[in-house]
Amino acid sequence: MNFKEPGCMFIDGKWTISDKTRDVINPADGSILAKVYEGDEKTVQTAALVAKKAFAGWSKISVVERANLLNKIADLINENFEEFAAIDTANNGKPLRDSRGDVADSIACFRYYAGLIDKPHGQTYYTADPNNEAIVVREPIGVCGQIVPWNYPLMMSAWKLAPCLAAGNTVVFKPSTLTPLSALKLFEIFEKAGLPKGVANLVMGPGSTVGEEIAKNILIEKVAFTGGTDTGRAIMKAATGNMKGISLELGGKSPCIVFDDSDFEAAVDWSLFAIFCNQGEVCSAGSRLILQDTIYDKFLDSLVARAKKIKVAKGTEEGAEMGPLVSETHMKKVLEYIEIAKKEGARLLCGGNRITDGDFAKGYFVSPTIFADCKPDMTIVKEEIFGPVLAVQKFRTEQEAVDLANDTVYGLAAGVFSNDITRALKVIKAVRAGITWVNSYHPTFAQAPWGGYKQSGIGRELGTFGLDEYTEIKQININLAPGPIGWFK
């Protein structure tokens, strides 16, 4: 992909330009990677109209044909594996090893839904009338609007597009303005795979125009969004215009609880991964570490020593373990949270600064940051930072750990570390979160549902639940004894 040529939108099977472009920035050095064309409300309206027209044909083709197309898309992503990884590393900043993992997960997602859609589904049921045969089937919704974030550009696209297309829907798709490049490449793949025109439409542009129109457009019958909770609320309001369905995967302030009977070194290792993976730019990041008092000081000593050794570098550099944050604006936001934490009395153990030495000067790098002795009312404990900043709290009893974990408006993810499996299961079941782990953190599988409680969202992605989100439920009753009812004499 030639980054220097303006990237076009893709509508009705044709690459489309506009009178507005946006620079796409490399967060490792602030340089311009590419220019892309952007649409507006009218662009979305056009895309929704062609998607509605395409739905009639796409929804009726056999599941075998749809599955074959999804598998072909997966094959083509695999053929362009390293290019996709390089694109996301250049555009998002994450290390290449992270981007390669995202590409592999994206391929697996398309293959999973290709394999799922021809499996048994629906229900039959008995009624009070022996002459009534009753069945339930699932049918595609229609035109779906999808809005993805910048932290996992390709993978989030796959998570949304694969089940949506598999179910027989058509799409108006909006990538983040910060990281649209892998979506451009993915739509090239769609074209090459032979996806019928109008089935998948790519519209780039800001949330204030393109995103809002997707949320309120009356031809779009469902909107799926991953991103911040405030934006999620705005989408919910806009979606009321035609009562469209919504799926929202929103923010988190997820706890990682470590008991003193856990495998010490393993718990330290996973705790680092929980917060500093992907620069902390993860909705499910373990950003609140809740440590038992008997190991508190020892654990923090080990954690800080390890955190200081994390190799922060450009994502393309050999051995890079943590890259830059996605943008200058986001970096400044993270640094503001760090200053707030200092003022509110949290104890800074390491990091807490922008890295500007040498090659880092023009990039958006923030060092791995750990704050100890955090209190429940502190801003860094309550609010999602979405960066490499860890807030550590202390607990004494099992119930105190649960209370601290649940003391949040969010409920996306949680982890518990203990070698007492009875305790671990008891605690994880008491934590109000939708994605949980025992003695690990972050592993994600296409087969398992992804989503949260409370203000972390509505609905689920992935697994059979993710496919269900893109279907309507229809009840069909068949009279096995046709004839007049004789109700009116």
- Active site residue ranges: 249, 283
Determine the Cα–Cα distance for residues 362 and 325; give it in Å rounded to an integer: 12
Residue 462 φ then ψ, to 5°? 70, 165
CA distance 78 to 85: 11
**How far is residue 361's CA from residue 324's CA, in Å, rounded to a whole number?**
11
Cβ contact 459:248 at 8 Å = yes
- Return the structure tokens found at 292: 């038992």
Helix H segments across 217-323? 229-239, 264-276, 296-307
Beta-carbon contacts of residue 64 (< 8 Å; ≥ 6 apart): 118
Assigned token pair, 354: 């922008």
| Cα(406)–Cα(400) distance, integer angstroms | 10
Contact 96, 320 (CB under 8 A): yes
- The pairs formed by 437-443 with CB atoms below 8 angstroms and a separation of 24 or more are 437/413, 439/262, 439/263, 439/266, 439/270, 440/270, 440/415, 441/256, 441/270, 441/271, 441/273, 441/274, 441/286, 441/415, 442/273, 442/274, 442/277, 442/282, 442/284, 442/286
Residue 355's Cβ-side half-sphere holds a number of Cα atoms within 13 Å equal to: 24
Q: What is the length of the chain? A: 489
Alpha carbons 141 and 358: distance in angstroms, whole number: 53
Q: Which two tokens stand for residue 372?
A: 């100890």
Question: Within the chain, what is the greatest distance between any pair of CA atoms?
Answer: 93
In whole angstroms, how far apart are CA 87 and each of 26, 91, 103, 398, 451?
A: 10, 6, 11, 45, 27
Give the amino acid at 316: T
C-alpha 249/C-alpha 456 separation (Å) is 6
**Pairing, β 245-249 against β 222-226:** parallel
C-alpha dist (Å) from residue 197 to 35, 54, 55, 88, 243? 25, 7, 10, 26, 27
